């Protein structure tokens, strides 16, 4: 069964600190992997997208890594801000299709 | 990028009634996607809507319950029929453009 598991489920950090969110997936065949940020009550917004041949991709303070061999990805947030409080969702895509498998997300809370 | 709007943004409905959700995109797209996000859960694809053809439904979703229209390349509707409290969810419209998936703001539905 194709699955996406994210850890931790929730995380609380202080403003200015760094954090790393983990994603393990079993989607196969695999095309690309995206990380989304979803604010409460809003639709998800794309942060990064990586193909199976890419190891890392940055978008400002967000850096995603991908190990296609072990089927693991991570999202590192540097110098967190209050506005980073949201759910972060890992989404691998089946090769050759438009189908995405959404992880359950990590709920991040940044405190002042 | 893609700008997507949805109407209504939220609604409270009585069981047994139906609600039609509208999705408008700022430019033409071939495929539009409808997702459901139940409370505390990840996104689940309901169906894919192509202009000029019947929508393609994912396992567990049927046309009688979730009829979809796609009259042109910038607009789609999703109807949630004969609602029950289990249909209380956020319903999101999405499009793919230039390898990025864009989401509407969602329609928050509560069924009493």
What confidence tens digit (pLDDT) does each residue in A24-82 have? 998 777 788 999 999 988 889 999 999 888 999 999 999 999 998 899 999 999 999 99
Total beta-carbon pairs less than 8 A apart between chain A and chain B = 40
Residues β-bridged to residue A89: A36
User: What is the pLDDT at residue A68?
Assistant: 87
Q: What is the DSSP letter of B99?
A: T
Sort residue B71 into left (φ over 0), alpha (ψ -120 to 50) or beta: alpha
Peptide bond into A16 cis (omega under 30): no
How far apart are alpha carbons A63 and A19 in whole angstroms? 11
pLDDT reported for residue B97 = 82
A98 → chain B, closest CA residue? B96
Contact criterion met (CB < 8 Å) for A102 and B4: no
Choose among A38, A44, A55, A68: nearest CA to B100.
A44
| Chain B residues with beta carbon closer than 8 angstroms to that of A105 | 42
A41 in contact with B, Cβ within 8 Å: yes
Distances B106 to A1, A27, B83 between C-alpha atoms, Å: 28, 26, 18
Given pLDDT bands bounded at 50, 70 and 90, which one contains residue B52? confident
Tokens of A49: 């997208």
> Residue B111 — pLDDT band, cuts 50, 70, 90?
very high
User: What would the pLDDT profile of B54-84 be if each residue is shown by its tens digit?
Assistant: 899 999 999 999 999 999 999 999 999 999 9
Cα–Cα dist B62/A58, whole Å: 40
- What whole-number percentage of chain B has pLDDT above 70? 100
Burial B21-42 (b: 16+ CB within 10 A, else e): bbbebeeebebbbbbbbeeeeb
Mean pLDDT of B90-104: 89
Q: Between B99, B100, B106, which is nearest A43 by CB?
A: B106
Smallest CA-to-CA distance from A81 within A9, A14, A10 is with A14
- Report CB contact under 8 Å: B48, A46: no
What distance in Å separates the CA atoms of residue B15 and residue B37, rounded to the nearest whole number? Answer: 19
Q: Partners of A37 in the beta sheet?
A: A45, A88
Residue of A nearest to B92 (CA): A43
B residues 42-61 closer than 8 Å to A (CB)? 42-45, 48
The per-residue DSSP string of A66-108 comes to EETTTTEEEEEE-S--GGG-EEEEEEEEETTSS-B-----EEE
Strand B43-50 relative to strand A56-59: parallel, antiparallel, unpaired?
A: unpaired
Structure confidence at residue A100 as a pLDDT band (50, 70, 90): confident
* Contact status, residue A91 vs residue A98, Cβ threshold 8 Å: no
């Amino acid at each position: 069964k194709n699955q996406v598991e994210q850890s931790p489920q929730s995380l609380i950090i202080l403003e200015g600190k760094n954090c790393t969110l983990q994603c393990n997936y079993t989607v196969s065949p695999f095309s690309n992997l995206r990380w989304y940020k979803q604010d409460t009550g809003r639709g998800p917004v794309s942060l990064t997208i990586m193909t199976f041949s890419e190891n890392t991709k940055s978008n400002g303070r967000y850096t995603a890594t991908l190990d296609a061999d072990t089927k693991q990805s991570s999202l590192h947030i540097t110098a967190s801000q209050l506005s980073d409080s949201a759910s972060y969702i890992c989404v691998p895509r089946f090769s050759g299709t438009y189908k995405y498998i959404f992880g359950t997300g990590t709920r991040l809370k940044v405190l002042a | 990028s893609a700008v997507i709007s949805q109407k209504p943004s939220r609604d409270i409905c009585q069981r047994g009634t139906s609600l039609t959700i509208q999705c408008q995109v700022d430019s033409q797209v071939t495929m539009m996607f409808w997702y459901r996000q139940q409370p505390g859960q990840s996104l689940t694809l309901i169906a894919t809507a192509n202009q000029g053809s019947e929508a393609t439904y994912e396992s567990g979703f049927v046309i009688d319950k979730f009829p979809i229209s796609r009259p042109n390349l910038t607009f789609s509707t999703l109807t949630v029929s004969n609602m029950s409290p289990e249909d209380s969810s956020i319903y999101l419209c999405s499009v793919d453009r230039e390898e990025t998936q864009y989401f509407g703001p969602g329609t928050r539905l509560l069924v009493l």
